[in-house]
Structure 1
Amino acid sequence: MSNIIYDCPHCGTQKVYFKVFYSKQHLKKTDIYNALAECGSCYEPIALVINWVVPYPKKDLPHEYFDAICTANNFFGLKVFPAPPATNAPDHVPDDVKRCFEQAAKSRNAGLFDAAGMMYRKTLEIALKGFAPEIVAWRLDTRIDKLAKEGQITPALRDWAHEIRTLGNDVVHNAIEVTQAEANQLHMFCTMLLMYLFTVPEEIALNRKKSESN
């Protein structure tokens, strides 16, 4: 049975071996094979579309090839389903905010939900610092309320921001465990907040400049 090395989209384990346990040649494209593989860590499956090229006459199907096929110069992965969850921060986010967000997202994908909760809170703290630098760092709640009062964030985003802040605080100070569902919610909330604060205004400004130059 052959293996491939891939980042698991289910459990988040990076560079884990997947056992390829089934493959079938494409009916129209002779070098293309559809295959199924199983994560060596969580045993969840992925589906692959493989470009299977070997330097000698093909006898074995990809799953019959007794080797790590991704290191044998005969395997080119075209598509993998499901794809690993994205960890990239929204566009136009400052570098320090981006670094914290992507650490949070990677922790979430790896199942480190407590770490993700703390890093989403840190992302929020650093993101809002530039909007209210006069407020002391430990008063994140005051910063959130100030932005809402000034109309820089909506009431719904204010509530989301407080959820991120509260859960992050609970992880640090009250030993609360973050669930996967909560980590997923924090990811969505934080993404939407960053897009509202940074991505949307910058895209509007860029499009306005483009319109003025035409």
Structure 2
Amino acid sequence: MPLIVKIDCPHCHTKSSGFQVEGGFRRSSDLISRRDPAVFIDEDWFLLSCGRCKKCITAQYISEHNSHRELKNVLSQHGSLEDIGYTYKVHFPSEVTLEEPEHLPSKVASPFRQAISNISAENWDAAGTMVRKALDVATRDMARTRIGNEKRSETIVKLWLKKRIEALTSEGLLTVDLSDLAGVLKDGGDEAAHDDEPYSKEDAIRLVGYAQAFLTYAYTVPGMVAEVRERVEDSPSSNTGSRPTD
């Protein structure tokens, strides 16, 4: 649909991101007959997708007009919602909460918690720096715990972070996408720690969100799989050798 609005994205934190209207729901339409001239007041909710990260929000808009108009006719128009008489009220989610992923080793969780705390305290440089430390500790932990050859493991642990990421990718412990994401975390953390200019709020929030995603794929998903496998192995059907039927 060609209708576009500008809203700060709560997911990727892009300022005044262009959101495309994907659909809508009319909550109410009231005729105020005692006004001169009489007007219709519509309360409509729209599903909007961010032009940058493609994630969605819902937003409430109000419009006043002199004749009844169907929502389906609104959705077929071009331009922005403001151009066709809508006034923005609120959107959800307004802010995405950063949370610690599950199954993190304590030594990895500690710097990531500090990154989140620094976001709350608006210490943007410190938040970015702690993201880099969380990545540094996580990649050393992955080398120590997921590579069977102890000599190879310690060799990778001692590498500089960039080379360590490349080595973990070669070992098959990081996918290409996760390796690229790790590179983004490293570069962002380096910028926050060493650049002359202050690290921005938007970049810090975005970087901590990326770190949350990286740690989720690196630790939470394998942890969940291990839990499922353990439950299956401990189930009565597993112990008796029976198989589920189709």
Q: Which has the larger radius of gyration?
A: 2
Question: Which residue of 2 is the match for residue 187 of structure 1?
Answer: 208
Code of the residue aligned with 1:107 in structure 2: it is N
- After superposition, the CA RMSD in angstroms is 2.3
Q: 2:133 aligns with which of 122, 138, 161?
A: 122
Q: 2: CA distance between counterparts of 1:203 and 1:90?
A: 11
Measure, in 2, the Cα distance between the counterparts of 1:209 and 1:99.
27
User: Partners in 2 of 1:110 and 1:83 — Cα distance?
Assistant: 19
Identical residues among aligned pairs (%): 33
Q: Which TM-score applies when normalising by structure 1?
A: 0.56
Specify every segment of 5 or more residues in structure 1 that has no aligned partner in the other structure, as ranges.
1-80
The offset of 1:170, in angstroms, is: 2.3
Match of 2:165 among 133, 136, 144: 144
Gaps of 5+ in 2: 1-91, 144-153, 236-246
Q: Answer whether contact 1:87 1:102 (CA < 8 A) is retained.
A: no
User: Relative to structure 1, is the Cα distance of residues 119 and 161 closer, same or farther in structure 2, using a 3 angstrom cutoff?
Assistant: same
In the alignment of these two chains, the number of paired residues is 134
Q: Deviations over 1:141-160 (max 9, x none)?
A: 01111122222222222111
Deviation at residue 108 of structure 1 after TM alignment: 1.2
* CA–CA distance in structure 1, aligned partners of residues 195 and 140 of structure 2: 25
Matched, 1:93 2:114: no
Instruction: Judge conservation of contact 1:91–1:199 (CA < 8 Å) in 2.
Output: yes
Contact 1:87 1:106 in 2 (8 A): no
**SS in structure 1 of the partner of residue 156 of structure 2:** coil
Distance 1:160 1:103, change over 3 A: same
Report SS of the residue matched to 2:169. Answer: helix
Shift of 1:174: 2.8
Structure 2 equivalent of residue 161 of structure 1: 182
Query: Is this contact kept in 2: 1:105–1:187, CA < 8 A?
Result: yes
TM-score by length of 2: 0.49
AA aligned opposite 1:105: I
